[in-house]
Amino acid sequence: MRVPPELRCLPHGEPFTTNGGPADVAAVERAASLTCPAGCTVPVVRGIPRFVPSDGYAAAFGWQWTRFRRSQLDSHTGTTISRDRLTRCLGGSLDVVRGATVLEAGCGAGRFTEILLEAGARVVAADLSAAVDANYANCGHARGYFVCQADIRRMPVARRSFDVVLCLGVVQHTPHPEETLAALAGYLKPGGLLVIDHYSRDYPLTAPRRVLRDLLLRLPPERAHRVAVGTARALLPVHRALWRRRRGFGRLRAYLRRLSPVVDYYESYPQLGRELLSEWAVLDTHDTLTDRYKHLRGPDEIRAALVQLGLEDVEVALGGNGVEARARGARAGASIAATKAATTAAVTVR
């Protein structure tokens, strides 16, 4: 893994060297730190540059992805669930990322990272949480790959430097989604492609999930993790009993989904099989009960935010994870307002 040319020191905007040597000849994994010409030092821990001192508000995600490192990788499940979602969000084909420089903001354990790399992209992956360790373990062997722990709202990269900026399953979990969108737009080259999704207004935050989540957010993190996972495992036998009864029990399964906080994918992804369905149920029950921020937006709100940033060719639709959207970065000579909005967002989240 080598330092990508887009990487920059946040205070000075300078490129990095590793251990005092040129960044293009020294592997990051062997470095103790990255250094900019002005003297800023970024530690490299377990082979990964760390631009933030901790997981911050994303700590729960770091906890879950280091424990469910391979659960949602297509290479692990033997399905195309992640590939299908990524392909749809990109507009119907993975060809758009072939030979492209992609910033994957909020990379998690790498369910989309591995597909981007297989499709021929050069990927700069980033996450605020310790999920970067899982991502590196899953994808670190691939060519054209770089990962760092960083706040995607203040990425240590040159502005307007990426062909594609991808952010799936993330924006709704940041403190201010519109500020996050503005920051993401600022990383796009003129005409580059921004791809995001966001929980919609009809996200199934049922009463049991809402009550339990409110309780868990008040608990110490380790205890909250145990309760979330323990709740899912305790209730799973009831869900599994209804999976066995395929015919005539659809209404009863729907009723159970309203009463139980467990995230049950039996109707959506039966191809996973019982064991993986159980694994995903525990994983995503923890996910939905422990996220610090859970914002909801409608298609019109997402469209308005993207248009306000001066993005072009905006496409927004309901589907998949909620609201899915694509837009192109403002071409050369386009709106000053877009640049101003992105800069304001970056300043706001310092």
SS3 assignment, position 287: helix
Is 13 or 344 the better-scoring residue by pLDDT? 13
Cβ-in-10-Å burial (0-12, 13-18, 19+) of 91 comes to: middle
Q: Residue 176 — pLDDT band, cuts 50, 70, 90?
A: very high
pLDDT at 316 over 80: yes
Q: Tell me, which fold does domain 51-150 have in CATH?
A: Rossmann fold (3.40.50)
Q: Taking 80 as the threshold, does the pLDDT of residue 340 lie above it? A: no
Residue 201: pLDDT over 50 = yes
Least confident of 56-60, 144-148, 293-297, 346-350: 346-350
Average pLDDT along the chain: 91
Contact 310, 265 (CB under 8 A): no
Per-residue model confidence (pLDDT) at position 246? 67
pLDDT tens, residue by residue, 183-199: 999 999 999 999 999 99
Nearest Cα residue to 345 out of 160, 123, 154, 187: 154
Angle at 105 between CA 61 and CA 314, to 5 degrees: 125
| pLDDT computed for residue 248 by the predictor | 65
Contact 77, 147 (CB under 8 A): no
The residues spanned by each domain of the chain are: 1-49, 51-150, 164-198+297-350, 207-274
For 109-152, the pLDDT digits (tens) are: 999 999 999 999 999 999 999 999 999 999 999 999 999 999 99
Mean pLDDT of 15-43: 77
Write out the CATH class of domain 164-198+297-350. Answer: alpha beta
DSSP secondary structure, 110-127, as one string? STTHHHHHHTT-EEEEEE
Asked whether the predicted pLDDT for residue 338 surpasses 80, the reply is no
Strands (E) across 36-139 are located at 41-45, 48-49, 101-105, 122-127
Mean pLDDT, residues 69-79 = 97
* pLDDT of amino acid 1: 81
Contacts of 241 by beta carbon, 8 Å cutoff, 6+ apart: none
Question: Which of the two residues, 349 and 286, has the higher pLDDT score?
Answer: 286
Q: Which is more confident, 27 or 79?
A: 79
The mean pLDDT of 27-49, rounded to a whole number, is: 89
Q: Residue 179: which pLDDT band, with cuts at 50, 70 and 90?
A: very high
Model confidence pTM above 0.85? yes
Q: Are strands 41-45 and 33-35 parallel, antiparallel or unpaired?
A: antiparallel
Mean pLDDT of 216-227: 97
